[in-house]
Chains A and B, each alone.
Chain A
Amino acid sequence: MFQLSQAGKDKILKELNRYEAKESAIIPALYIAQQENGGWISDQVIERLSEVMSLPVARINEVFQFYTMFNKKPVGRHHVQVCCNISCALNGGRELANQICKELKVGYDEVTEDGRFSVTRVECLGSCGTAPMMQVNDKYYENLTPESAMNILRGLK
């Protein structure tokens, strides 16, 4: 059963007063909840948020399902997102993604057995000049080759 921590609740209440519209706090609140729930958002999280924010659960769920940065499934400790959009694709982004999957022995949108990694292909992350690139959790890694990418990933525990 997911429960928001007191600090998280306080943060959400702060966000509720930060913007003119109460609903504006949904996205920040989802970020806070996602962090507390280990990188993804379950139905229970939505319910808790609905209680804390006193907003209809359908409105929160709508927002949650719409944005790609909220994970609908559990992710690894290091959520590897490889850009496969045009500039990266021109520089081998997709091959890089395939290579990472092969080396980590996972499929896309799956978590490795030890729970360390999950790999997903994403759309443009605004790093087109330094393609190919990947984002691990919040951090950008740019100008990658399959080897350098794997070196970085091996360094992450």
Chain B
Amino acid sequence: MPKCTINGKEIEVKDGTTIIEAMHHHDMHIAHYCWHPGLSVAGVCRLCMIEIEGMPRVQIACNTVVTEGMKINNTSQKVKEAVKWGLDFHLINHPLDCPICDQAGECGLQEQYMEYGKYDPEMAEKKVKKHKVVDLGPTVVLDSERCILCSRCVRFTTEVSKSNELGIFNRGDRSEIGTFEEKPLNNKYSLNTVDICPVGALTSKDFRFRQRVWYLKDAETVCNGCSTGCKVQTFFNKEGLFRVKPVYDKEVNGYWMCDDGRDLYKFVNREHRYLKASHREGSGWTQVIPGAAAKEAAAAVTAAGDKLALVLTGQYTVEEYEKIVSIFSKDLKTKKIYHWLNNKETVNSFDGLLIRGDKNPNTKGLLQTLQKHNISTAWSELESGLASGAIKTVVVAGPENHAFFKDIEEKVQLFNKAGTVIWLQAAKNPALEKLSGNAWIIPMKSYVEKDGTFINHAGQHRKFKRVTTVVSESLTLGEAAELLAGHQIMVKPESNLLVEADRQADKVTVEHRKKNEFVFKRGAL
């Protein structure tokens, strides 16, 4: 455990720690582009310059291991001068098309220039021309002129995704990142290259030009795409959610997330959601306010007696399961609670990095709750019950992320046998229009609109906080359970749109204010 002094502060680090890691762990600022904690050391951007006492020249922090008694300084004039010029070398061939660059606002070059900029451009020659708007694959677009050749993305494809699509071709200042024609950047993790790109060279086709980043607020949550439960950051404003990025989590996802998880913000947005509840009696559908619909449905539920069944998918939080299961088993006195598992065949598959076959974030949580309430049922019981008429009313907590529920239509046909179906669902699904008899569709809150816990495949509790409100009138599963059981509930003021600014301790906002005043001004909901 060597001890060293960095900028006058004594620090003890593990053996073999490099200086930049030591500084990273202790929240000390150091300029860098090519170094990324999840990748190997390249040492090419030459920006993480430090001065070590006793060494005549400035060294790079990312490839220098801390030794006992080392005295390190990255605030001296010598270091600043070196970084200033290092940054200027990065910028002499950079096109400075910040106005149309998606990275503007969160760009490494912009950030470092504020601190180390030369503010005295001396480059009077023509810039090197390279390819612009290169289509690298189905998800990523490259702008070679903006690229600073930090090689992060190349190292990502060789070390993490191991797909080897990217390479740096040619040499000197003619070097360009690229793929080979026949082999585009097409893997399940390709968008991580966009995240780790410190400049706007790699941009996501999905997010490209849709918003300027300073119009977006961000908040952390847990991905509900599969049972891995990656920690993610969602970016949103009053128009809805725009993108999802991974957040470092040592135990679960490291620095990465898969491309499928990044698509999960889409079904949350208003255009894909049920805004009003629908009720079908006889032939046509009528639109009702969600709470009122739940109260209406309560009559059917409470009247059902022992012919009531509850079907749960693994997409809700532990707290919601606890509530709904306890209400149904205690107040409504039914033990007919079934687990709807969507993909039995692939449920245990795993791609070796992050993606798991179980596409429900909380299967474990659901099973644990059912176990806790001593409920053990089989799907075949439900089927036979429906066939025999032992089940007349079914409450279905439908899948939030229904992309992986290919059998919804089939299930709709199955539940139609019951006569009364109360379907709780967040995102629109055309299959639900086929519900017949006495049916309700009640809009639910999506995972970004509630606090809760998922229990992932490894049994880790993944707690998350509410991010934003998209459909304010929709219900959580707990609220719906209360209302269906005929209880009265108070809607908590937190879910009120007007006091949005007070919640989340404003941590995000303050950070943004430091970073960019416009976010504070315009990003407020």
Chain A–chain B contact at Cβ < 8 A: yes
A contacts, CB < 8 Å to B: 43, 46-47, 56-59, 61-62, 65-66
| 29 A-B pairs (CB sep. < 8 Å) | A43-B180, A43-B181, A43-B182, A46-B180, A47-B180, A47-B182, A56-B164, A56-B165, A56-B183, A57-B180, A57-B182, A57-B183, A58-B164, A58-B165, A58-B167, A58-B179, A58-B180, A58-B183, A59-B167, A61-B167, A61-B169, A61-B178, A61-B180, A62-B167, A62-B168, A65-B169, A65-B170, A65-B171, A66-B171
Tell me the bound Cα distance from A62 to B166 in angstroms: 9
**Count of A-B contacts with CB under 8 A?**
34
Kindly identify, within residues 159 to 191 of chain B, every residue whose CB is under 8 Å from any CB belonging to chain A. Answer: 164-171, 178-183
Apart from A43-B180, A65-B170, what 8 extra A-B contacts exist at CB < 8 Å?
A57-B180, A58-B166, A58-B179, A61-B180, A62-B168, A62-B169, A65-B169, A66-B169
Chain A residues lying within 8 Å of B170, measured Cβ to Cβ, are: 65-66
Chain B residues lying within 8 Å of A62, measured Cβ to Cβ, are: 167-169
Q: How far is the CB of B42 from chain A (nearest CB, A)?
A: 15
Q: How far is the CB of B309 from chain A (nearest CB, A)?
A: 53
Chain B residues lying within 8 Å of A43, measured Cβ to Cβ, are: 180-182
Q: How far is the CB of A85 from chain B (nearest CB, A)?
A: 16
Q: DSSP majority for the B interface?
A: strand
Chain A residues lying within 8 Å of B168, measured Cβ to Cβ, are: 62
Chain A residues lying within 8 Å of B183, measured Cβ to Cβ, are: 56-58
Residue of A nearest to B170 (CB): A65
Chain A residues lying within 8 Å of B167, measured Cβ to Cβ, are: 58-59, 61-62
Tell me the bound Cα distance from A56 to B163 in angstroms: 8
Band of interface residues on B: 10 to 19
Chain B residues lying within 8 Å of A57, measured Cβ to Cβ, are: 180, 182-183
Q: How far is the CB of B255 from chain A (nearest CB, A)?
A: 22
Chain A residues lying within 8 Å of B169, measured Cβ to Cβ, are: 61-62, 65-66
Chain B residues lying within 8 Å of A59, measured Cβ to Cβ, are: 164, 167
Chain A residues lying within 8 Å of B165, measured Cβ to Cβ, are: 56, 58
Kindly identify, within residues 182 to 229 of chain B, every residue whose CB is under 8 Å from any CB belonging to chain A. Answer: 182-183
Tell me the bound Cα distance from A57 to B171 in angstroms: 18
Tell me the bound Cα distance from A46 to B179 in angstroms: 13
Q: How far is the CB of A102 from chain B (nearest CB, A)?
A: 27
Residue of A nearest to B163 (CB): A56
Tell me the bound Cα distance from A150 to B167 in angstroms: 41
Between A47, A59, A62, the greatest number of chain B beta carbons within 10 A of the residue's beta carbon is seen for A62
Residue of A nearest to B176 (CB): A65
Residue of A nearest to B182 (CB): A47
Q: How far is the CB of A27 from chain B (nearest CB, A)?
A: 15
Tell me the bound Cα distance from A59 to B180 in angstroms: 10
Tell me the bound Cα distance from A94 to B183 in angstroms: 41
Q: How far is the CB of A47 from chain B (nearest CB, A)?
A: 6
Tell me the bound Cα distance from A62 to B180 in angstroms: 10
Chain B residues lying within 8 Å of A65, measured Cβ to Cβ, are: 169-171
Tell me the bound Cα distance from A66 to B174 in angstroms: 10
Chain B residues lying within 8 Å of A66, measured Cβ to Cβ, are: 169-171
Q: How far is the CB of A73 from chain B (nearest CB, A)?
A: 14
Residue of B nearest to A47 (CB): B182
Tell me the bound Cα distance from A18 to B182 in angstroms: 29
Chain A residues lying within 8 Å of B166, measured Cβ to Cβ, are: 58
Residue of A nearest to B183 (CB): A57
Between B165, B168, B180, B181, the greatest number of chain A beta carbons within 10 A of the residue's beta carbon is seen for B180
Tell me the bound Cα distance from A56 to B170 in angstroms: 17
Chain A residues lying within 8 Å of B181, measured Cβ to Cβ, are: 43
Tell me the bound Cα distance from A133 to B484 in angstroms: 93
Chain B residues lying within 8 Å of A56, measured Cβ to Cβ, are: 164-165, 183
Chain B residues lying within 8 Å of A58, measured Cβ to Cβ, are: 164-167, 179-180, 183
Q: How far is the CB of A30 from chain B (nearest CB, A)?
A: 14
Tell me the bound Cα distance from A56 to B183 in angstroms: 9
Chain A residues lying within 8 Å of B164, measured Cβ to Cβ, are: 56, 58-59
Residue of A nearest to B181 (CB): A43
Q: How far is the CB of B160 from chain A (nearest CB, A)?
A: 15
Tell me the bound Cα distance from A62 to B167 in angstroms: 6
Chain A residues lying within 8 Å of B171, measured Cβ to Cβ, are: 65-66
Tell me the bound Cα distance from A57 to B164 in angstroms: 8
Residue of A nearest to B171 (CB): A66
Chain B residues lying within 8 Å of A47, measured Cβ to Cβ, are: 180, 182
Q: How far is the CB of B152 from chain A (nearest CB, A)?
A: 15
Tell me the bound Cα distance from A65 to B171 in angstroms: 8
Tell me the bound Cα distance from A58 to B179 in angstroms: 6
Q: How far is the CB of B333 from chain A (nearest CB, A)?
A: 62
Q: How far is the CB of B376 from chain A (nearest CB, A)?
A: 50
Tell me the bound Cα distance from A62 to B169 in angstroms: 5
Between A43, A46, A66, the greatest number of chain B beta carbons within 10 A of the residue's beta carbon is seen for A66
Tell me the bound Cα distance from A58 to B178 in angstroms: 8
Q: How far is the CB of B128 from chain A (nearest CB, A)?
A: 16
Tell me the bound Cα distance from A59 to B168 in angstroms: 9
Kindly identify, within residues 469 to 509 of chain B, every residue whose CB is under 8 Å from any CB belonging to chain A. Answer: none
Chain A residues lying within 8 Å of B178, measured Cβ to Cβ, are: 61
Tell me the bound Cα distance from A58 to B171 in angstroms: 15
Tell me the bound Cα distance from A10 to B392 in angstroms: 74
Tell me the bound Cα distance from A155 to B209 in angstroms: 61
Between B166, B179, B182, the greatest number of chain A beta carbons within 10 A of the residue's beta carbon is seen for B182
Tell me the bound Cα distance from A47 to B182 in angstroms: 8
Tell me the bound Cα distance from A43 to B181 in angstroms: 8
Q: How far is the CB of A44 from chain B (nearest CB, A)?
A: 10
Q: How far is the CB of B49 from chain A (nearest CB, A)?
A: 27
Tell me the bound Cα distance from A47 to B178 in angstroms: 15
Tell me the bound Cα distance from A3 to B183 in angstroms: 19
Tell me the bound Cα distance from A61 to B164 in angstroms: 12
Tell me the bound Cα distance from A58 to B170 in angstroms: 12
Q: How far is the CB of B163 from chain A (nearest CB, A)?
A: 8
Tell me the bound Cα distance from A65 to B165 in angstroms: 15
Q: How far is the CB of B145 from chain A (nearest CB, A)?
A: 18
Residue of B nearest to A60 (CB): B180
Between A43, A57, A58, A61, the greatest number of chain B beta carbons within 10 A of the residue's beta carbon is seen for A58
Chain A residues lying within 8 Å of B182, measured Cβ to Cβ, are: 43, 47, 57
